[in-house]
Structure formats: C-alpha cells, structure tokens
Amino acid sequence: MPAETPHDVGRPSSSDNADGGSQSRIKTSSLDAAITHPGTVRINIQGAFILDEEPGPSTEEATDEGRHDTKSIRLPNHTAVVSHIAVDIGGSLAKVVYFSREPGSSEHGGRLHFTNFESERIDACLEFMRQLKLNQPKLNGSKSEELCVMATGGGAYKYYDKIREALGVEVLREDEMECLIIGLDFFISEIPNEVFTYTDTHPMQFEEASADVYPYLLVNIGSGVSMVQVSGPKEYDRVGGTSLGGGTLWGLLSLLTGAGSFEEMLAMSDRGDNGAVDMLVGDIYGAGYSKIGLKSSTIASSFGKVFKKKTEAERSAEDDGGLANGDQEHVPSPYGNDNLRRGKEAGFSGEDISRSLLLAISNNIGQIAYLQSEKHKLDNIYFGGSFIRGHRQTINTLSYAIRFWSQGSKKAYFLRHEGYLGSVGAFLKRQPRNWGRRNSLESHPAGG
C-alpha cells in the first residue's frame, strides 16, 4: 500500500478560537434556534462553537484515570437544565459526554464536555459518572436523583447492571450504529470548524457546516473498523470493515515495544523512521518508480527489512563465537519480552517499529475504505473513531491513501471530536421527536 512520509497536520492553535472572542464566536444563521426535550429541558445550539482550551469543572479531577479532551463545545445561548449524560463503551475506550453551565461565571450558556477512560478501568469511569451525579445541582441546577444515563456501544449491554448498581439511576441503551450516524450528522451540520480535510498544501482546511452531505461512507476506527454507507437520515447499512484496527496496533506494539499506553505508542511513532523497518520502493529500484506514480519513499513491504536484518544480526553473533565470557544462556521470557529483546539486538528501535505498524494499519484501512466507496459509488468518506485522536501521521496516511487510490476523485474528511460520535449520538437521543432541520432522529421519545 503506497504511503509517503507524513507531513505535519494538527489542530488549530488555541488563539484561533479558544478565548471566546469575536474570531471564535462563529454564528451560523441556518442553525435552529432550539432543541426541545419534552417537559424538562430546552437545549439551544444557536451560535455553538468549539473551545480548544478552557478551565474545566471540578469533576474533571474526580479521577486521574481518565483523560479530558480540551475541545469542549460552547453553547452560549442555552439556559435550561440538562439532566442526562451519555457514555459510549467500546472494546478499548469508554467515552463520556456531559453538559455543564459555565464554570465560575454568571454568563448564560454552558458547554458540552468530552472525557474518555480505558474500558478496562470501567470502575474509574463509573466513579467519574457518580461524581457528575453528585454535582448535578452545581453543574446544571438539577437534582442528583433526576440524572439519566444514555448508554451505547457493546459495554452498554456488558456493564448495564453494573452502571445501574453503581449510580442508582435510569439507564437507557441505544443502538451503536444509529448513535454513530446521529453524532456524525450533528457534527457535520451543526458545529462550525468541526469537519476538515487534509492535503499537502492545506494541512487543515475546514468545511462549512451543511445539511447537504448524503450519501457518504463512515469509516469508524476503534478497536476494530466498521464501514457504514449512509444514504440519508436514518438510512444506513454496514457494508464492511476489518478486524485490523486500533486494538491491533495497541496489542502488537505492547508486545514489540513495551509501550504502556496508546498515547505513548503514538508519541514513539512521531520519533520513528519507518524506513529502518519497511522495505521501500527506493530500496528495490534505487529511486522512485515514476512510471506508475510510486515515489522512492513509498512502502513496498511493511516490516520488509526485519527478517534480513534479524538474520544478519544472528549470523554476526555466531561468527563472533556466540556467548561472550561470563554471559549466561538466555532463557525465554514467559511475558513476551523476548520480542523486544530480539528487535533491539537486530537494531530496530521501538520508535521505528511504532511508526511502521501505524502506517501499515492506516494504509490498510485507507485502501479498504477506498474499495468500499468505489463499490458503493460514494465520493465522500468520513473517518471517525478513537484510533485517529487528531494524530498527524494517521490523518496524513488515511488522506493520502484515498487521494492516491481514487486519483483525487474522492475526499477524506476528519473531525475534531472523531472519537465521540457514538456518545454524542446517544446524548442527542434524549431529544424530542423530529428535532433539528433534517429530522434525523427517531419519531418517538428516547428509550422507546
């Protein structure tokens, strides 16, 4: 799968729209004035915008096991009580979305907050949610016992009883695919400076919020990958996917590098050189293969240099007489550290391995996404899921793959809240029938 050395791509700086000033208060006259929840809550999304950096409510410090994403969405015109939170529990991460009034301010409005936990630390996530419940009077002006949890993802079923027991509140389970589509549709059509494209000349080009988006392909990359064809509001089909996703990267790199977290793996990949591990077109031809559009830096074989270098290292050790004086014969480790030891002996760094595997998995997903879009005649491809995490190499690789294989005829789109499509969709399910200008939700109340 072709891949170039990634260029830098990142999120806008905090000066762009973090201070709530005139530059960040982007108004969209086409937004609906309000979203009404029958009987209890009225959510006003007019003038919504993203805050890149802001002081958070005290509940963000309820546990040090979670990660708060500093990309809250400001709702400057909302004043009513919101009495529910949402959680999307996947195979690797649990993603929480909740609303609070403006912290430490008498201003009208509030904001949506986004926090995630590793799914294996579900107890820490539940404790965080319990703190949100206890702080409901302070955060939203509602009673703690009125809190409702909107849950989606596989964990909504796996941990259903545990959530109810830990929080003592109503828990409504929502369909995972439906929540993904609702969340994505909301971000595409309602939130300015949310959706962007990437090219070499324009690393982060924002798209205007628009309702005219169908049809499209959603590629949701979590532990595994799902690819969903979306033809219109409530019209979608899962058309494919792959088991080689974020869980694959996390698992293999934990064996090969000893990295302890996904963030550490991504940081290692930033420092790595995949050319030390991968066989490139330049390694075979001595240059690029311009006749078919392949640059010298294009990957011909992921991990293609490993066997040769490993064999050379082993032969060199044999030629040097095997074990040095005083060395003891190596006993294989039952914990998998032998892979890391052998890699170092052959001259492979954890950073180089991390970059190579990240590119391999991203390239594979990009090519499958292209093939699905070609099969179903879809020109617009949206990439979501916690695998991406705004990471420049991942975004660059996926975008390049779509451009390369489609020869520029298809577009890859990314989101700043890419990991929260499902949880936002579940949060919005607690809304009335036919909300919003596209009527994209069920025509019956949540939980029905």
Between CA 300 and CA 285 the distance in angstroms is: 11
Report pLDDT for 222.
92
Question: CB of 224 within 8 A of CB of 91?
Answer: yes
CA neighbours within 13 Å on the CB side: how many for 292?
Answer: 6
Top-ranked range on mean pLDDT: pick from 10-14, 270-274, 283-287: 270-274
pTM of the model: 0.78
3-class SS shares of the chain: helix, strand, coil, % to 5: 35, 20, 40
Residue 46: pLDDT over 60: yes
User: What mean pLDDT value characterizes the chain?
Assistant: 79
SS (H, E, C) 113-145: EEEEEEHHHHHHHHHHHHHHHHCHHHHCCCCHH
Residue 359 CA to residue 398 CA, distance in Å, equals 9
Q: Which residues contact 430 (CB under 8 A, 6 or more apart)?
A: 37, 84, 86, 148, 150, 172, 446
User: pLDDT grade, residue 194 (50/70/90)?
Assistant: very high
The confidence score (pLDDT) of residue 364 equals 96
**367, 406 contact by CB (below 8 A):** no
Q: What is the mean pLDDT of residues 175-181?
A: 95
| Predicted confidence (pLDDT) at residue 414 exceeds the cutoff of 60 | yes
The DSSP annotation for 32-60 comes to -S-EEETTTEEE--TT-EE-SS-PPPGGG
Q: At what angle do helices 392-406 and 262-271 cross, to 10 degrees?
A: 70
C-alpha span between 178 and 396 (Å, rounded): 28
Q: State mean pLDDT over 36-65.
A: 53
CB atoms within 10 A of CB 326: 5
- Taking alpha carbons only, the member of 263, 193, 184, 176 closest to residue 217 is 184
Q: Which of 3-17, 44-58, 65-79 has the highest mean pLDDT?
A: 65-79
Is 101's pLDDT higher than 90? no
pLDDT tens for each residue of 133-161: 999 888 877 788 889 999 999 999 999 99
Q: How many other C-beta atoms lie within 10 A of the C-beta of residue 43?
A: 22
pLDDT tens, residue by residue, 231-281: 998 899 999 999 999 999 999 999 999 888 888 999 999 999 999 999 999
DSSP H helix total and E strand total for the chain: 14, 18
The single-letter DSSP state of residue 174 is: -
Cβ contact 24:16 at 8 Å: yes
- Least confident range of 100-114, 197-211, 361-375, 381-395: 100-114
Q: Tokens 């311009």 label which residue?
A: 290
